[in-house]
Amino acid sequence: MKILLTLSLALFLSYAGKLPHTEQLIVVTTKNWSTPSGTLQRYEMQGSKWYKVGNAISIKLGRNGLGWGRGLHSIPKNAKIIKREGDGKAPAGIFTLKQAFGYQPFVVSYPYEVYKTTDHCVDDAGSKYYNKIIDSTKVKKDYKSFEHMKFPKDYYKYGIVVNHNHIDEPGAVKGAGSCIFMHIKKVPTAGCTVMNEKEMKEIIEWLDADKNPLLLQGTEAVVKSLGKSLRLSL
């Protein structure tokens, strides 16, 4: 098993040349594939070296742990745990970040959207809007399952869209997982990575689109291996 894991992770090192340049990293690390909790640490590039930003924070993620997601990395051919719709797992891998969002205006330099109750993120794999955030008042509804981007609870009061499985763009694989965010919550989720409001706002304020921030998320072994492809030594 250890040999198979080593070979799987080695596949990622050859992918390093295809990764975009980045100067900001959000690194989420878990003990193993099944744990619903972990640690988040921010990093920023200064010169040619990565430096920690702020203190590490405790986070929750998928209630069933992690599964390989679809992002900038390649999923190992022999991977046994791959993210699927409804599996209660957060995606492991390297991902770009899209817009931050919330229920009210937030003056930050990073792209930020204010969502309404009629804004939906579609998780119905049978819909042409699968893994897209849409204004439901402007489309012909062909879906039965979706998430409100604004609702009475404050879970999405502030958040960030993680570009897992080509959210809001062509190429989403039906059933491979949808609507993955970083947002506010105290308990494990259906697949998102969560923290408290103060921590979420601090991350949004720190993000700089010009530095092309990325999310690196996985077990200790995965993060260590993929970190090498980003010149991050852990």
Share of the chain above pLDDT 90, in %: 91
Residue 65 lies in a domain: yes
CA distance 45 to 24: 6
Residue 234 lies in a domain: no
Residues 118, 145, 85, CA angle at the centre, nearest 5°? 125
Per the structure, the complete domain to which residue 133 belongs is given by 2-229
Q: How far is CA 227 from CA 36, 37, 222, 233, in A?
A: 21, 20, 8, 6
| pLDDT value at 129 more than 80 | yes
Residues linked to residue 182 through DSSP beta bridges, in sequence order:
160, 193
Per-residue model confidence as pLDDT tens digits over 111-127: 999 999 999 999 999 99
Mean pLDDT for the stretch of residues 93-104: 98
| Confidence bin at 7 (pLDDT 50/70/90) | very low
Q: What residues contact residue 44 under an 8 Å CB cut-off, 6+ apart?
A: 23, 24, 25, 50, 51, 53, 211
What is the predicted pLDDT for the residue at 15?
42
Residue 131 lies in a domain: yes
Q: Where are the beta strands (DSSP E) in the chain?
A: 24-30, 37-46, 49-60, 66-68, 90-102, 112-114, 119-122, 133-135, 146-148, 158-162, 181-184, 193-195, 214-219
What is the predicted pLDDT for the residue at 16?
40
Residue 174 lies in a domain: yes
What is the predicted pLDDT for the residue at 8?
38
Mean pLDDT for the stretch of residues 203-215: 98
Per-residue model confidence as pLDDT tens digits over 150-177: 999 999 999 999 999 999 999 999 999 9
Q: What is the mean pLDDT of the chain?
A: 93
Count how many domains the chain has.
1
| pLDDT value at 12 more than 50 | no
Per-residue DSSP letter, 21: P
CA distance 93 to 74: 8
CA distance 13 to 114: 38
What is the predicted pLDDT for the residue at 18?
73
Neighbours of 140 (CB within 10 A): 7
SS3 121: strand
Residue 69 lies in a domain: yes
Q: What residues contact residue 45 under an 8 Å CB cut-off, 6+ apart?
A: 22, 23, 24, 51, 211
